[in-house]
Structure 1
Amino acid sequence: MYEGAVQELIDELGRLPGIGPKSAQRIAFHILEADGADMRRLATAITDVKERVKFCSICGNVSESETCSICRDPRRDPSAICVVEESKDVMAVERTRAYRGRYHVLGGAINPIGGVGPEQLRIRELLNRLSDDAVTEVIIATDPNLEGEATATYLGRMLSTLGIRVTRLASGLPVGGDLEYADEVTLGRAFEGRRNL
């Protein structure tokens, strides 16, 4: 245990996701040894992001204005909505350059153990967006884990009554992977998602 401000910094850094006690300590000492001007820029960037960034009123993505740049872009296909868990997932899909539709950020995934049910997610807002008949396909792109699968199943059942095409991102073997190292679920998904050559 360190005293005063150093321990407070280590404790606060340790509360960040993915930062354990050792990493928090390393970062704290890096901050202590770093140039003061660099650390003031870091502090300003943290303060600015908390003050200026909000969530898009349409899709829920992060934005510095009322609506995000994707929702404002008239070149985006309004007939498709890709549903993702978090804003970082929007950027992951955008990096592929394979999708030109719009997005809807749920703000998480169904996780009963963590106290997150459908009512805590932005599902009501999604249903409101689907009421104008412009959307013909909803692509569910939740994570391929227990919570993501529960969310996808819930959304699939709910949306199937609306007459809109509901699809789920394919999952299976990664490119460059070996069959012998694939777990049963991944290999099973690969068989389910097979396609003609």
Structure 2
Amino acid sequence: MSSNNDIDNLIEMMARLPGLGPRSARRAVLTMIRKRGLLLTPLADLMQTVAATARECLSCGNVGTTEICDICRDEKRATGEICVVEDVSDLWAMERAGVFKGRYHVLGGTLSALDGIGPEDLSIPRLISRVADEGITEVILALNATVDGQTTAHYIADQLEGRVALSSLAQGVPVGGELDYLDEGTISAALRARKPV
């Protein structure tokens, strides 16, 4: 028998999503219930479809509905460049920017001694194989500017040294950023990455 427990369970499940707390989840569920035909039913159908079809790309680790994602299948993107990112959300952010026209490699996280995450727990061995097998000429390390991100970048750079050109994203002051609002690490990175005017 259905009861308010089902609605409460839905709210609780929604609250587990990143960016949604209990209050936001409650508002979202109430809106979906009020607009059942427009939102709730189509959303439930789409979630069921995605649950059945979503999979990780066997080549790069992106998420899609086929074994090899659209980016890896696109011959125009076979530029010899691979952009290495920590997670699929980072890949999608790069794609939204629309400036990188090569292929990607999703690590699935970063190295972390504290959490017991080593190279074998990430897709670093697959990256090294791709560099050899796909004729890669440049690996762009687009990892977050955290201790774990930088540790991972250094590890990958050591593994690929002498095999391929390596580069990383510039770090520093964001567009529209004001120095007064930036942390010391960002200012330091920006100063080290300065360029002539």
Fold-level match, TM-score > 0.5?
Answer: yes
Task: Give 1:8 shift.
Answer: 1.1
1:47–1:116 Cα change, 3 Å: farther
- For 2:52 and 2:172, the matched residues in 1 are separated by 40
- For 2:93 and 2:109, the matched residues in 1 are separated by 16
- For 1:128 and 1:78, the matched residues in 2 are separated by 17
Q: Within 5 Å, give how 1:1-197 maps onto structure 2.
A: 3-132=4-133, 134-160=135-161, 162-197=162-197
Q: Which is further off, 66-75 or 20-29?
A: 20-29
Counterpart amino acid of residue 67 in structure 1: I
Equivalent pair of 2:119/2:125 in contact (CA under 8 Å): no
1:133–1:50 Cα change, 3 Å: closer
Count of residues in correspondence between the two structures: 195
Counterpart amino acid of residue 68 in structure 1: C
- For 1:43 and 1:75, the matched residues in 2 are separated by 36
Three-state SS of the structure 2 residue aligned to 1:116 is coil
Equivalent pair of 2:171/2:186 in contact (CA under 8 Å): yes
- For 1:54 and 1:138, the matched residues in 2 are separated by 25
Three-state SS of the structure 2 residue aligned to 1:57 is coil
- For 2:38 and 2:169, the matched residues in 1 are separated by 45
Normalising by structure 1, report the TM-score: 0.89
Task: Give 1:154 shift.
Answer: 2.0
Task: Give 1:166 shift.
Answer: 1.3
1:173–1:25 Cα change, 3 Å: same
Task: Give 1:30 shift.
Answer: 2.1
Unaligned runs of 5+ in 1: none
- For 1:133 and 1:74, the matched residues in 2 are separated by 12
Task: Give 1:85 shift.
Answer: 1.3
Equivalent pair of 1:172/1:190 in contact (CA under 8 Å): yes
Counterpart amino acid of residue 101 in structure 1: G
Three-state SS of the structure 2 residue aligned to 1:149 is helix
Counterpart amino acid of residue 87 in structure 1: V
Task: Give 1:98 shift.
Answer: 2.1
Unaligned runs of 5+ in 2: none
1:126–1:177 Cα change, 3 Å: same
Task: Give 1:77 shift.
Answer: 3.5
